[in-house]
Amino acid sequence: MKVEVNRAAAPPAMFSPRVQPGVAYLHKALGERAGLLLDELTEINGRLTDKNYSRAVPASRNISFTFSGQVVPPLVVVRPGEIGRALSFYEVSINHLESERYRNRYADSFTGFLVLAQDPGRRVLSYLNNYLLVVKPNGKMVMIADDHTHAAYAFGLARHLRAVPDNLVLFHADEHRDNVICGISENEMGPYRAERITLSRLAYCCKNAVEIDNYLDFSCRSGFLRPEDINYYLTENLGKRAAPAYSARSNMLRTGKIGLLGSLADDIKQARAGGAGAFLNLDLDLFAFLHDPFFPQEKKQELAGITEGQVLAPLLEAAHLADFVFIATSPDYFCVPVRTISRLVRKIVDAA
């Protein structure tokens, strides 16, 4: 299944010799696929930038998990060595009660009720100044964004760039399932079917309608994924020897398989051996129980004794094996210093 892009008689994009990361670099890394990527790029301030994410726009008020002052920034192409400079952040200050993570922390006790009723405090969330599309010398691509709404765009982009085969298998490592049913009606879904969608249309929907907990259902209804090809690797399973039974509710995407993080690399190998493409979809909130002070204490106790190295090792191997990697920084669910985010992102990109 190929994402068709509207090419309306526009001449081929021309870039200055000093544009970064450099057209010659992309041709060397991607080979014949470089033209597919270059067709989707524009030059802004000497940087190659995705046309469909070319300017910062205010986060849509139609989407539940957004805050005042938050924007959807440009998607900039970088080499791995540029991540240290390119991975920069701006701050959004929110009231504690606006934060789902904060409310959940105190939701189940009378003391928590009093805290929520009286707490006037605020917390600061760190959002990305630019989303990044990292192109490695080996041709592997890693997309980095604030949240998983934009993973739906990455599915389409990866298909268009022939970075993954059409029979795509998703490996979703996250604190959450993100499997809520999408609220877009069947009539509204028409322009977003994979056989007719343009990347610009897909980007528009990801910026204005798709939520962080329903983008998987949206992607399945679009045709980029099959529900049975979603594999979940969740925080709640990190300390368990066997994956729990999958319990679907009426407002949830009902299929998908839950696995253990330790089996992630083997599961990717099995999918690729069968001719499928492997897309690693990683949310940094998987590490929240280790670093985030707002992580619920009772859940943290269940995971006591698990180290960052034990979580990171299978993810790095999976990043190396996958065809395409997406990383969500999830500021409201991984409220940590930016140095922690940067360190984890660089390790994952280096391993890919």
Q: What is the pLDDT of residues 283-339, one digit of tens each?
A: 999 999 999 888 888 888 889 999 999 999 999 999 999 999 999 999 999 999 999
Instruction: Tell the residue number behind the tokens 């067709």, with chain if given.
Output: 39
Residue 224 lies in a domain: yes
Q: Could you identify the residue written with the tokens 């904060």? A: 102
pLDDT tens for 226-276 read 999 999 999 989 988 888 877 778 899 989 999 999 999 999 999 999 999
Q: Cα separation of 113 and 103, whole Å?
A: 9
42 domain residue, yes or no:
yes
Per-residue pLDDT reduced to its tens digit, 61-79: 989 889 999 999 999 999 9
Pairing type for strands 47-50 and 41-44 reads antiparallel
Query: Domain containing 135: what range?
Result: 23-351
Q: Is residue 9 part of a domain?
A: no
Return the number of other C-beta atoms located less than 10 Å from residue 8's C-beta. Answer: 5
Q: Concatenate the DSSP letters of all residues of 96-111 into one string.
A: GGG-HHHHHHTTTSHH
Sheet holding 75-78, edge to edge: 41-44, 47-50, 75-78, 131-135, 141-145, 324-328, 277-283, 168-174, 230-234, 257-258
Quote the radius of gyration of the chain (alpha carbons, Å).
20
Question: Considering the domain boundaries, does residue 3 fall inside one?
Answer: no
Please report whether residue 171 resides in a domain.
yes
6 located within any domain = no
Answer yes or no: is 46 within a domain: yes
What whole-number distance in Å separates Cα of residue 125 and Cα of residue 123?
7
| Nearest-10 crossing angle of helices 215-222, 199-208 | 150
Please check whether residue 226 lies inside any domain of the structure: yes
pTM, full prediction = 0.92
Structure tokens belonging to residue 3: 């994402």
Which of 171, 145, 150 is closest to 76 using CA atoms?
Answer: 145
* Number of domains into which the chain is organized: 1
Pairwise CA distance, residues 270 & 177, whole Å: 22
311, two tokens: 């979580």
Q: Flag whether pLDDT at 55 surpasses 80.
A: yes
The 8-class DSSP code of residue 5 comes to -
